[in-house]
Amino acid sequence: MIVKGDESNPLLFFEHLAQQFNGHWDGEEFSFDNAIGKLTSLTFGYMNSIYIGITELELNEEMVFENNPVSDRQFVSIRIGLIGGFNNENANQKNSIYIYNNLQKFKIVYPPNVKMSWFFIRFPKEVYDLLGTDKSSDFYQLISNPKPWFYYSPMLLEIDILINEMYKVMDDMEVRRGLFLAKGIEIITKLRAHGISNKLKNIAYDIHPDDLDTMLKLKDEIIADFTKIPNVAVLSASKGMSKSKLQRGFKSVFKMPILQFFNHQRVLEGQRRIRTTNHDFTQIAIELGYTDLSHFSRVYKQFLGKRPSEEVRESK
């Protein structure tokens, strides 16, 4: 099943989606629950230009969303997605932050019988001008670039916290609209600060949508289970590519080879668990497939510049 859209007006998109799938849409809340599966979404529009929302779905058959840009108005989209619900602690290892402009074509595959959730913001570039005066920064130059571009980041803890705050008020009719806008602006501001401090290392320009789709699927595949180290030869055979072509394609999107990317993501997941759970370091190391605590600590310091014992746990 294929659903097409251009993300230029999410409210209009949900109106069409309600007609296509016999769903309910009241201008803010969209839902359907039928033979196709279940989908719920809460979306707010502000000033006819900013759109912020959270969507959850679990389908009985595969659905593919194809983004085919048609709007000439230059805008930026932020999509933060995961397998599982926003209140599911065990789902966070697959959180991903994607930022892209309206020219980037892409496909998103929603597999059957898997609960998926995502948070999204869409805003025109001129709105960003109201949030700061950093017109000389790399981040501002990125969102001003008229070429198709795509930026990836693993989940940031401070962003995860903000999204969960929005998730908790989804049913509170009195505060949710205002809080979504406030937290949405805060998320944009924190992503800007993160992008500037990290020199925007993960930007991909003019990526063909089929290539982007293949590499995003591959990324999800290799971090689905951190106890299994990716076998590049097996992966390349499954994709019908040579190892060198697969590595080139992956590096063009994620800016590092497959195994380095996997190890980095595994360490970041270890950092998240240290900060947000009460699990001891040895338990976390074993859960992530490390041979022992010393192995975990050594790799941790290699990527993050400090040992697990130097992390500060978040208060519950």
Q: pLDDT of 296-307, one tens digit each? A: 999 999 988 999
8 A C-beta contact, residue 273 and residue 284: yes
What's the CATH code of the domain at 13? 2.60.120
Decide which of 180, 205, 230 is a domain's last residue. 205
Decide which of 205, 226, 241 is a domain's last residue. 205
pLDDT one-digit tens code per residue, 147-196: 888 888 877 878 888 888 898 899 899 999 999 999 998 998 888 887 77
8 A C-beta contact, residue 126 and residue 72: no
Any domain includes 28: yes
Cα–Cα distances in angstroms (integers) from residue 226 to residues 223, 259, 267, 285, 313, in the given order? 6, 12, 10, 10, 22
Any domain includes 254: yes
- Domain range spanning residue 22? 2-205
Residue 72 pLDDT level (bands cut at 50, 70, 90): low
Q: What is the DSSP letter of 60?
A: S
- Determine the length of the chain: 316
Residue among 195, 194, 196, 162 at smallest CA distance from 80: 162
Q: Which residue has the higher pLDDT, 114 or 315?
A: 114
74 and 176 share one domain: yes
- As for how many domains the chain has, the answer is 2
Residue 232 DSSP SS3: helix
pTM, full prediction: 0.81
